[in-house]
Structure 1
Amino acid sequence: MTATRDDHKDLIASVRALLTKHADSTAVRAGAAQELGYDPTLWRLLCEQIGVAALAVPEEYEGVGAGLVESLLVVGELGRTLAAVPMLGSAVLGVQAVLLSGAADAAARLLPGVAEGQTTLALCWAGPDGWDTPGITAEGEKLTGTAHYVIDGTGADTLIAVTAAGLYEVAADAAGITRRPSATLDPTRKLSEVTFDAVTARRLGDRDPAELTARLREIAWAAIAAEQVGAARRCLELTVEYTKSRVQFGRAIGSFQALKHRMADMYVLVESAESASVAATAAIAEAAPTASEDIWAARVHCSEAFTTVVAEMTQLHGGIAITWEHDAHLFFKRAHADAQLFGTPRRPLVPTS
């Protein structure tokens, strides 16, 4: 199914309306304090009322049959609230990993539950030095090692292990699995360490591991870019609202020319970041020849834009922005955490004359 532009607008409006009602700052903070790192009731509402987990799942596996574009529209809306429901880790990365593997039997077994919102997947990937070298090794059907920075790892029902030999599926409660919460900069997104001690696993498909991993990395970067744009736009909105109400020297501070210029620069950054994100998402969804370049550009620019916008937000809010009660510090932490999540692209060498 190919969604039209109006369909996209309707999807965004539906998700935003639900999040406005059920995922305000108080609710997000309360959800982050739970063991899962999110409110399961919010996830259930998103799945039952809108079907967000089913968007990228093909119809043959009881999904909506939309695609990656629609899934990342939801990721962007979640970025506005910082609600860390299992959209990115399970409904995007987990689903895409299963589909990319080409293992039809695994898709038929795993994806209907994910589409319904009843089960979740977690991608176990990074080694101690990051995502370039997987933390798990495969010897036959046995997995050993530790995956770091696992999104949704604490509550996932099924783990998808990324190894140099390919993808493997294993039940999260299998013998030899140990899951531990990780200390993180961003309190609104829980990450885990998942250790495999000679765990028996099932190989997913037989596709080239290097190509599969590269594709997964591109999807992850496109998803993070979408989240960064949603969060950056919300930071801009909050800053504009604040400068309209904060009075100094008898005038709203937003009327001062110097601050207008700074907010105009924020606006340009958000708009250009959104353009880069949209182009990257479309390119990877359509397998365009320029996909790698588009995703590289989006990864770099969206990270820099979000980091800059949230820094400006913090400064323009003044002292209130560094208090625990204000959300500015949460966006600040998400910006810096997102800039490192799934690794950063290597910048091309500057040619010398």
Structure 2
Amino acid sequence: MEFVFTEEQAMIGETARAFFAENATSERTRKAMAATGQDAGIDRELWTAFCQELGLSGIGIPESAGGAGLGLVELAIIAEAAGAQVAALPMLGSLALSAQALAAGGSAEQQAAHLPGLLSGAVIAGYVHDAGITANGSSLTGSAGFAAHGSSAQLFVVTSNTGAWLVPADAPCVTVTPLTTMDQTRPYARVTLAAAQGEPLADPAAAIAAAHRAGFVAVAAEALGGAQAALDRTVAYARERVQFGRPIGSFQAYKHRLADLMIEIEQARSAVYWAACAVDEGSEEAALAVHAAKSFAADTFFLCAGNMIQLHGGIGFTWEHDAHLYFKRARAIQSMLGSGEWHREQVATMILGEVA
């Protein structure tokens, strides 16, 4: 099968890349990293421009729910462009996870009440998932760590093995505790529910399935964008840095490292867009593809970010260099939404069946 972007998809990608390259600068990202409270890890100006001026926040949401009516391929294109700049945005938790859950499993009333705020960027939602969260009627008890931008959220989409609910962040019996995290562009929080009142989503199974599919694809695409940017920046440095009277990129060992990274990235690209396309087309391979894409792309990003630091030499080891923004994001992506080992286990089970 030969996968080629349509003219519309190519235009979306070009627009998104230009937008993030111009606006998600290192200076602005570092300012967002230093922010505290509800602004921690968020470039508010960039978020408003992305949602309202660029109008791409509803890219993966059906038109019936107020979105653009496109699919996960287009969402992946946007996530890849954002990942290339390590943009400090709550896109993953608020749009790829929470908005997708609402669009797939919320009632018409729930969608009308919450999706406009999410898509405009006026409201930020956090996605909270833990199998240990229990429900007694509409009363929820349990806790979950690693809610992306949880301290900035006004609304939580809470899911477990037993259901899915909407919980306002300021509701009684809800405690949000910021966590110290490696990737300051995406800070996490622990959300604790002590008999908190939740509003059940109309179709919890559909909400959870849609959120996880979109989340896996979005974070894999983000990793792909980061990996490509890490390689591109390293290639640019290799052309400029001169050692022993010649650019360091002309040395064979250096070139071989870059070539190996390019091969890994191209494989990750195939995995990411295979997964996005499989979901959009309702393929039987979709479940397997999203696990493969997340695992492979995350590991590729980490490989490229580590090599970025090493191949930049001394400057790459300084905290002031942007290589560390990529490395921290890559390491965080490896751990979030399931480790690579867990995703590969899911793939193996789907192919081989349960092993005694």
Pick from 282, 285, 297 the counterpart of residue 280 of structure 2: 285
8 Å CA contact 2:100–2:207 kept in 1: the answer is no
1:168 counterpart SS class: strand
After TM superposition, give the deviation of residue 86 of structure 1 in Å: 1.8
8 Å CA contact 1:57–1:115 kept in 2: the answer is no
Q: Which runs of 5+ in 1 are unaligned?
A: 127-133
Q: Structure 1 counterpart of 2:33, which letter?
A: A
Residue 71 of structure 1 is matched in structure 2 by: 75
8 Å CA contact 1:56–1:63 kept in 2: the answer is yes
> Cα deviations across residues 51-81 of structure 1 (Å, max 9, x unaligned)?
1212223323332222322222111111111
After TM superposition, give the deviation of residue 241 of structure 1 in Å: 0.4
After TM superposition, give the deviation of residue 102 of structure 1 in Å: 4.5
> Cα deviations across residues 131-171 of structure 1 (Å, max 9, x unaligned)?
xxx34221110011212100121111211101222100111
Q: Does 1:250 align with 2:245?
A: yes
Output the CA distance in 2 between the equivalents of 1:185 and 1:207. Answer: 32
Query: What TM-score do the two structures reach when normalised by structure 2?
Result: 0.90
Q: Does 1:173 align with 2:173?
A: no
Residue 186 of structure 2 is matched in structure 1 by: 189
> Cα deviations across residues 289-326 of structure 1 (Å, max 9, x unaligned)?
01122122212221221121112211111121111110
After TM superposition, give the deviation of residue 212 of structure 1 in Å: 5.2
After TM superposition, give the deviation of residue 205 of structure 1 in Å: 1.3
2:61 counterpart SS class: coil
> Cα deviations across residues 64-109 of structure 1 (Å, max 9, x unaligned)?
2223222221111111111131211111111111123252221121
Output the CA distance in 1 between the equivalents of 2:77 and 2:107. Answer: 26
Pick from 290, 300, 313 the counterpart of residue 308 of structure 2: 313
Pick from 125, 140, 151 the counterpart of residue 143 of structure 1: 140
Alignment root-mean-square deviation, CA: 2.1
Residue 196 of structure 2 is matched in structure 1 by: 199
Residue 91 of structure 1 is matched in structure 2 by: 95
2:312 counterpart SS class: helix
Residue 118 of structure 1 is matched in structure 2 by: 122
8 Å CA contact 1:138–1:163 kept in 2: the answer is no
8 Å CA contact 1:89–1:121 kept in 2: the answer is yes
2:57 counterpart SS class: helix
Pick from 217, 225, 239 the counterpart of residue 220 of structure 2: 225
Q: Structure 2 counterpart of 1:83, which letter?
A: A
Taking only the aligned residue pairs, the percentage that are identical comes to 37
2:186 counterpart SS class: coil
8 Å CA contact 1:135–1:148 kept in 2: the answer is no
Q: Structure 2 counterpart of 1:114, which letter?
A: L
Residue 66 of structure 2 is matched in structure 1 by: 62
Q: Structure 2 counterpart of 1:241, which letter?
A: A
> Cα deviations across residues 8-33 of structure 1 (Å, max 9, x unaligned)?
22222222222222211111111122
Residue 48 of structure 2 is matched in structure 1 by: 44
Output the CA distance in 1 between the equivalents of 2:17 and 2:169. Answer: 32
Output the CA distance in 1 between the equivalents of 2:66 and 2:334. Answer: 34
8 Å CA contact 1:57–1:66 kept in 2: the answer is yes
Q: Structure 2 counterpart of 1:119, which letter?
A: V
Residue 23 of structure 1 is matched in structure 2 by: 24
Q: Does 1:294 align with 2:289?
A: yes
Output the CA distance in 1 between the equivalents of 2:336 and 2:255. Answer: 32
> Cα deviations across residues 162-220 of structure 1 (Å, max 9, x unaligned)?
12221001111111111111111212211111111211111101454xx7545533332
Whose helix fraction is larger, Structure 1's or Structure 2's? 2
After TM superposition, give the deviation of residue 224 of structure 1 in Å: 1.2
Q: Which runs of 5+ in 2 are unaligned?
A: none
Q: Does 1:325 align with 2:320?
A: yes
Output the CA distance in 1 between the equivalents of 2:226 and 2:139. Answer: 40
1:143 counterpart SS class: strand
Output the CA distance in 2 between the equivalents of 1:212 and 1:245. Answer: 49
Runs of 4+ in 1 over 6 A off after TM superposition: 349-352
1:154 counterpart SS class: helix
